[in-house]
Amino acid sequence: MAKSYVTKVEKSIKEESDKILLARKAISKKAVDLENMEIAQEALSAENWKEKAFSFPNRKIRLATAFSGIGAIEHAFQRLKLNYEVVFAGDIDENCKKSYFSNYPIKEENWFSDIRAFDAKKYMGQVDFLVGGAPCQAFSMVGKRLGFEDARGTLFYEFARLIKETQPKVFLFENVKGLLNHDNGKTWNVIYSIFKELGYDVHFRVLNSKDYGIPQNRERLYCLGFKTQTNFLFPAPIELEYRMYDFLEDYVDTKYFLREKGVKFVTSHKNKQKCYTQVNGDIALCQKSNQQFNWHGDFVYHPLSQEDMLAEDYDDFVFDVKDVEEKYYLSDKVAKYVLAGGTKTFRTSTKTDLDVARPLLHSMHKMHRAGVDNYVTHKGRIRKLTPRECLRLMGFKDSFKIVVSDTAMYQESGNSIVVDVLIAILKQLDITKYGVEE
């Protein structure tokens, strides 16, 4: 984290105030009252959400976010080419604000830095969709798991307050999977009951990004609240078509497009002469069952103009391949550390070049051991992921502008929500039904 943000977070963990003490007291009482309540996760739909069309594609969705980060839900709307307006957004991290303002349309007066000082009453009735996830460190399995004892844990109450003050048609609350079993389930019982008391029909489930198109093993809790009773099932998993390599900057084996080595083979005089290959042929060559592995057969030349790039489908992942800067490669000393199997009391995996990435962490700029972070090898050397690759593995297309330092970008991407899971949810619930006519 950036130094100023670390200081803010450390202060927030230790903070004591009448408001926080009152919240803790209310939470403790409610936890006792709900101790034996059992709540089941929502089922998965049998429908193919990718084939669903939006009912009202021209409607405008009035979107509001809290703990906005780098705007995962906003990027999901952009990728789906939906009509949306940012009603308000906010985050305590100044770097997030820089990234947000560089990528999304928002007025300064509609941005807040401290949710505790933000009065949302003036937005009552102006929000169709409210999205947020209170800081997850208070409940994360890799943290101290202080829950509501951590002042960040009480920030959930601030999100609940925004729901009460704005009365959105739908809200989405996202958090770590560990929230469900924190304090033997008491914490989630409290949160769930508060959403119900606010008058919402609540549906929740843990979803993994690798089941929705992104090769990252990232499980998160997604909770939807509807202002009216709704028959909702969460989107069904789809087959994972990509590997982590397809999202890297310096690999030549992205899924459908030939890179330098393949192009040289396909277009060589020898192969043309022997009719192993042809490009843009009038009559197809005899196809081989394994042609995708040896570059034999038919190929087409497909020049991409700037307009074509902008018109790509939301689920297209064709990225530029370029050389990675030297600074991302590990020195021999650091490489030995990250590939060490551990000590007598601590053992970790040393695997690199995974097909499905490990969960991206907000602290990955610190370069943990290989069993915690993601490392790849290229040309016989080991390197960490670049900030752009981390964004790709969170579902952000290369149209997302990077305007902060590498350290800040690693933190921001690690704290974000995977865009493709949000896209699946938006399509499954048909978010346009909740928009307004312009």
Which are the catalytic amino acids? 136
DSSP string for 63-99:
EEEES-TT-HHHHHHHHTT-EEEEEEEE-S-HHHHHH
Residue the block writes with tokens 């489930």: 205
In the structure encoding, which two tokens stand for residue 433, read together? 């039904």
Give dist(CA 180, CA 144) in Å, integer. Answer: 16
Residue the block writes with tokens 């290229």: 378
Query: What are the distances in angstroms from CA 177 to CA 174, 273, 395?
Result: 9, 58, 19
Q: In angstroms, how far is CA 267 from the centroid of its own chain?
A: 39
Tell me the chain's radius of gyration from C-alpha atoms: 24
32: β partners: none
Residue the block writes with tokens 């312009």: 438
**Segments in 104-202 forming alpha helices (H):** 155-166, 186-197
Amino acid at 210: K
In the structure encoding, which two tokens stand for residue 378, read together? 């290229």
Q: Judge contact between 297 and 285, C-beta under 8 A.
A: yes
Strand-pair category, 277-279 with 297-299: parallel
Query: What are the distances in angstroms from CA 385 to CA 42, 130, 189, 327?
Result: 35, 32, 38, 11
Q: Judge contact between 135 and 152, C-beta under 8 A.
A: yes
In the structure encoding, which two tokens stand for residue 273, read together? 């002469």
Q: Judge contact between 112 and 88, C-beta under 8 A.
A: yes
Range 295-309 burial, b when 16+ CB lie within 10 A, else e: bbbbbeeeeeeeeee
Q: In angstroms, how far is CA 197 from the centroid of its own chain?
A: 29
Residue the block writes with tokens 């069904």: 236
